[in-house]
Amino acid sequence: MPRPATKADPQKQLMIKVKACQRLIKEAAYYEIETKENEAQLQKMKDEQKDPYDIKKFEEVLGESQMMIPESISRRDKALDELREFVIVLEKDEAENNELMTCEWMVEAKKLAPSGKETADEGEDVAITAVDELADGEAF
């Protein structure tokens, strides 16, 4: 018999999404570090003229690590986008829920995936320069 439909606790959902993002951020960073370490190890093996078979196998290991970087970055970015969208929805739907809006997971979510509001203020002092009227080669 199926469970009755109940609304999931938004704070619990937020915690799950934040922890997933934290894990994916660490994973992407780990693959980048691992790749750099493996590149150094491979170069050391080549410099020491180790067995060609070992070098070839280590190049395969390095290749696998390099293939994981774009995939892990993609998963990380997707999770951060989902977290950002979830926070925006919560700010609209649960604005009156002060406990949720000030909980540690909301604070962490805003650090990990700031919405457009937080990042828009940073560039407000930039002036737009009209360059349409400049002649070719003329500096502004």
The structure's pTM equals 0.70
Selection from 59, 62, 54 nearest residue 34 by Cα: 62
- Mean pLDDT, residues 92-111: 87
| pLDDT at residue 139 tops 80 | no
At residue 15 the predicted structure's pLDDT band, cuts being 50, 70 and 90, is very high
Selection from 18, 6, 38, 4 nearest residue 90 by Cα: 18
| pLDDT at residue 52 tops 80 | yes
Scored b (16 or more CB within 10 A) or e, 25-48 reads bebbeebbebbeebeeebeebeee
| pLDDT at residue 125 tops 50 | no
- Give the CA distances from residue 139 to residues 125, 127, 132, 133, in Å, rounded to whole numbers and listed in that order: 22, 17, 12, 11
At residue 126 the predicted structure's pLDDT band, cuts being 50, 70 and 90, is very low
- Mean pLDDT, residues 80-90: 93
